[in-house]
């Protein structure tokens, strides 16, 4: 594994902006992990499709995933083969790109336990796979990780990591770093004990497990653990910051994104909300829920941590993407991570130390007032503190300023492209009682559109100056991934099914195409065997935001889907269930 710096990146370093092209191969037009590269930039260096010709983009072929639940996965493209993971039952298809439209070369059907569908809080989704060294790695809803031979489709290993009877499931896309497959569980709404695990990529053997709460030895906190801020220092905070034994059912799962900096040899990821949602049931900081961690990939050892949302009040998971960038900020070159948090703030942090450099809102926020970058303290709005009471007009809502839907960064523009939400909510705290494998929430929630009445935005953000550059309102939450290219084009999709291409500098819409169903998928860009550039995306609305359609929920009960239903009752008027890959190219 080596660090590759493209000539363009070197040029940009000279100009004050750089990004580490850190992935397990150079950008040869493939797409080997959901986030494109270890830095999670989702930036493609391909230029054939550009601002001058993107208006002529055409559908080249399509492929039905055979599943009508939320199709959230990023396709992978490796060695002229495209790999697609479906929602439960998590079939893996291999499509031969040398024969567009040919039948799948093979389908790997792992048949995860059907009962796992019952512990998926927010649709039976899967966010994709990772390729490494001849194998495709991905997770099954029933807490398994599998390695599949990328050529033959034969299972190489399959490892059980959790127990659905405890409410655990796995939906995240793994990465492979230093020979370890990095996987985390889901289940913050079921009172699981969250963890991140490293598996040996060759054998599937569990190399380490880092829990999200509990004693230091379980969290893999040792002598090398150096948090930047005082409040994150101390022995066994993962026990002492909870009521007695509550850490054992306290969530802090790791169902989101993992980035990796090979130079610093650190992986970055965040933990989920604590359980239950009702904060009055868990006095204390509830470490290490809603926390960003830097760890060693080979051992899981914690190097630093920053609890973004101590004693979380609003389901502000910390699992969103961390984009690794080398920026010049206030005249200083800094190795940063950019983390658009559920709480609506874009954290720009020194990824070596965990210092917060800025944390300005990219979405409408009234739940918090500011972040003191000196102390790392999040200043709460006293009128928006939840618990055993009713609180109204809290922004952002539990799905956050944004949820898992990943942003992209272009070194050409220096901008981060954020698909996000504009949702507020009201809550009433109730008593949650823990019963293993059942919802453990303790909060009745109703969400609705934030200021302006639109429920989403697609926003371009300047991470150096910590400010919004432009923003495009969307009727529904912008809940797809995004990809930005060296052709100067940024792509994303909407829950009512429009797949859009914008000028990455101006935000001007250059092209749009109506997919058969709304999309919550992750677009990718790749070079085909014919040397041409293609853009691929799955449609198939669903996930937490789209459960009203994919799960056929009755919108009459606004508290359904953990309160999201109240905000999305009209989605079914705008789109239908679906599950289809679309591959676009130039004529």
Return the active site residues. Answer: 189, 273, 315
Considering the complex, state which of residue 478 and residue 580 has its C-beta at the smaller distance from its own copies: 580
Helix (H, G, I), strand (E, B) or coil at 191: coil
Q: Shortest Cβ distance from residue 70 to its own copies (Å)?
A: 13
Binding residue (CB under 8 A) for its own copies from 64, 152, 240, 375 = 64
Residues 107-136 contacting its own copies, CB under 8 A: 107
Stretch that binds its own copies, among 58-66, 161-169, 433-441, 554-562 (CB under 8 A): 58-66
What is the DSSP code (8-state) at residue 387? S
Considering the complex, state which of residue 23 and residue 65 has its C-beta at the smaller distance from its own copies: 65
- Letters for 152-181 (x = contact with its own copies by CB under 8 A, - = none) are ------------------------------
Q: Shortest Cβ distance from residue 62 to its own copies (Å)?
A: 4
Q: Shortest Cβ distance from residue 472 to its own copies (Å)?
A: 18
Binding residue (CB under 8 A) for its own copies from 26, 52, 101, 283 = 101
Tell which residue, 196, 80, 183, 181, has the closest CA to residue 136: 181
Considering the complex, state which of residue 374 and residue 573 has its C-beta at the smaller distance from its own copies: 573
Provide DSSP, 77-88: EETTEEEEEPST
Q: Should residue 580 be labelled a site residue for its own copies when binding is judged by CB under 8 A?
A: yes
Exposure on the CB side of residue 336, measured as CA atoms within 13 A: 28
Q: Shortest Cβ distance from residue 539 to its own copies (Å)?
A: 7
- Letters for 485-524 (x = contact with its own copies by CB under 8 A, - = none) are -----------xxx--------------xxxxx-------
Residue 415 CA to its chain's centroid (Å): 18
Binding residue (CB under 8 A) for its own copies from 25, 58, 240, 390 = 58
What is the DSSP code (8-state) at residue 114? G
What is the 3 state secondary structure string of 522-543?
CCEEEECCCCCEEEEEEECCCH
Residues 71-100 contacting its own copies, CB under 8 A: 93, 100
The backbone torsions φ and ψ at residue 199, rounded to the nearest 5 degrees and listed phi first, read -110, 145
Tell which residue, 405, 369, 568, has the closest CA to residue 492: 405
Q: For the chain, how many residues are written?
A: 587
Considering the complex, state which of residue 58 and residue 383 has its C-beta at the smaller distance from its own copies: 58
Considering the complex, state which of residue 256 and residue 518 has its C-beta at the smaller distance from its own copies: 518
Q: What angle do CA 15, 20, 24 make, to 5 degrees?
A: 155
Count the residues of the shown chain that bind its own copies, applying the rule CB under 8 A.
36
Considering the complex, state which of residue 85 and residue 357 has its C-beta at the smaller distance from its own copies: 85
Considering the complex, state which of residue 84 and residue 213 has its C-beta at the smaller distance from its own copies: 84
Residues 548, 166: Cα–Cα separation, whole Å: 25
Q: Which residues contact 244 (CB under 8 A, 6 or more apart)?
A: none
Number of other CB atoms surrounding residue 449 within 10 Å: 18
196 membership: H or E segment, kind and range = strand 195-200
Residues 549, 196: Cα–Cα separation, whole Å: 31
Stretch that binds its own copies, among 62-70, 230-238, 275-283, 480-488 (CB under 8 A): 62-70
Binding residue (CB under 8 A) for its own copies from 62, 231, 430, 559 = 62
Considering the complex, state which of residue 401 and residue 497 has its C-beta at the smaller distance from its own copies: 497
Binding residue (CB under 8 A) for its own copies from 47, 55, 98, 103 = 103
Binding residue (CB under 8 A) for its own copies from 3, 10, 55, 59 = 59
Per-residue tokens: 507? 């935000």
Q: Shortest Cβ distance from residue 518 to its own copies (Å)?
A: 9
Considering the complex, state which of residue 44 and residue 65 has its C-beta at the smaller distance from its own copies: 65
Q: Are 330 and 310 in contact (CB under 8 A)?
A: no
- Letters for 540-569 (x = contact with its own copies by CB under 8 A, - = none) are x-----------------------------
Number of other CB atoms surrounding residue 357 within 10 Å: 20
Q: Which residues contact 489 (CB under 8 A, 6 or more apart)?
A: 49, 50, 51, 54, 501, 502, 503, 504, 510
Q: What ranges make up the beta strands (E) of 265-412?
A: 266-270, 291-295, 302-307, 323-329, 332-340, 345-350, 356-361, 368-372, 377-380, 390-394, 408-410
Stretch that binds its own copies, among 61-69, 171-179, 312-320, 411-419 (CB under 8 A): 61-69
Provide DSSP, 360-373: EESS---SEEEEET
Q: Should residue 480 be labelled a site residue for its own copies when binding is judged by CB under 8 A?
A: no
Binding residue (CB under 8 A) for its own copies from 104, 207, 373, 469 = 104
Q: Should residue 574 be labelled a site residue for its own copies when binding is judged by CB under 8 A?
A: yes
Exposure on the CB side of residue 211, measured as CA atoms within 13 A: 21
Binding positions for its own copies, rule: CB under 8 A: 58-59, 61-66, 68, 93, 100-101, 103-104, 107, 496-498, 513-517, 539-540, 572-581, 587
């Amino acid at each position: 594994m080596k660090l590759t710096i493209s000539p363009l990146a070197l040029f940009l370093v000279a100009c004050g902006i750089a990004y580490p092209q850190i992935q397990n191969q150079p950008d040869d037009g493939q797409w080997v992990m959901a986030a494109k590269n270890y830095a999670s930039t989702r930036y493609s260096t391909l230029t054939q499709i550009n601002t001058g010709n993107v208006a002529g983009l055409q559908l080249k072929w399509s492929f039905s995933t055979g599943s009508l639940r939320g199709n959230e996965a990023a396709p992978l493209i490796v060695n002229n083969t495209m790999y697609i993971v479906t929602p439960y039952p998590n079939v893996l298809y291999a499509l031969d790109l040398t024969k567009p439209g040919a039948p799948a070369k093979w389908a790997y059907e792992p048949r995860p336990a059907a009962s796992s569908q019952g512990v998926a809080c927010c649709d039976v989704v899967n966010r994709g796979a990772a390729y490494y060294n001849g194998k495709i790695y991905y997770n099954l809803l029933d807490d398994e990780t599998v390695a599949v031979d990328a050529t033959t489709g034969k299972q190489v290993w399959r490892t059980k990591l959790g127990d659905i009877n405890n409410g655990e499931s796995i939906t995240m896309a793994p990465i492979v770093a230093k020979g370890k497959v990095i996987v985390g569980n889901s289940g913050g709404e079921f009172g699981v004990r969250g963890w991140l695990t490293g598996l040996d990529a060759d054998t599937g053997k569990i190399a380490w497990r880092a829990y999200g709460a509990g004693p230091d030895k379980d969290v893999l906190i040792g002598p090398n653990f150096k948090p930047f801020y005082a409040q994150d220092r101390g022995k066994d905070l993962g026990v002492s910051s909870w009521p007695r034994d509550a850490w054992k059912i306290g969530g802090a799962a790791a169902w989101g994104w993992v980035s990796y900096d090979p130079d610093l040899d650190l992986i970055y990821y965040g933990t989920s909300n604590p359980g239950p949602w009702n904060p009055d049931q868990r006095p204390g900081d509830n470490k290490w829920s809603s926390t960003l961690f830097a760890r060693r990939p080979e051992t899981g050892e914690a190097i630093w941590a920053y609890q973004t949302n101590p004693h979380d009040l609003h389901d502000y998971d910390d699992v969103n993407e961390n984009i690794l960038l080398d920026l010049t900020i206030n005249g200083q070159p800094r190795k940063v991570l950019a983390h658009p948090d559920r709480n609506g703030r874009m954290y720009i942090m020194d990824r070596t130390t965990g210092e917060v450099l800025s944390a300005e809102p990219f979405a409408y926020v009234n739940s918090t007032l500011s972040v003191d970058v000196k102390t790392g303290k999040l200043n709460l709005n006293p009128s928006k503190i939840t618990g055993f009471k009713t609180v109204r007009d809290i922004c952002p809502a539990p799905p956050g300023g944004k949820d898992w839907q990943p942003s992209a960064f272009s070194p050409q523009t220096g901008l981060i492209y954020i698909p996000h939400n504009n949702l507020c909510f009201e809550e009433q705290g109730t008593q949650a009682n823990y019963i293993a494998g059942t919802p453990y929430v303790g909060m009745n929630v109703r969400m609705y559109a934030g200021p302006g009445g639109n429920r989403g935005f697609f926003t371009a953000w300047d991470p150096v100056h910590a400010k919004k550059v432009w923003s495009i309102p969307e009727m529904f939450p912008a809940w797809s991934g995004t990809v930005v290219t060296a052709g100067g084009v940024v792509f994303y999709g909407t829950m009512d099914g429009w797949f859009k291409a914008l000028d990455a500098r101006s935000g001007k819409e250059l092209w749009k195409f109506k997919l058969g169903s709304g999309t919550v998928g992750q677009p990718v860009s790749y070079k085909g065997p014919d040397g041409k550039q293609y853009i691929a995306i799955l449609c198939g609305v669903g996930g937490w935001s789209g459960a009203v359609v994919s799960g056929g929920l009755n919108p009459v009960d606004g508290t359904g889907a953990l309160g999201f239903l109240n905000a999305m009752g009209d989605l079914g008027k705008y789109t239908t269930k679906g599950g289809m890959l679309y591959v676009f190219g130039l004529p």
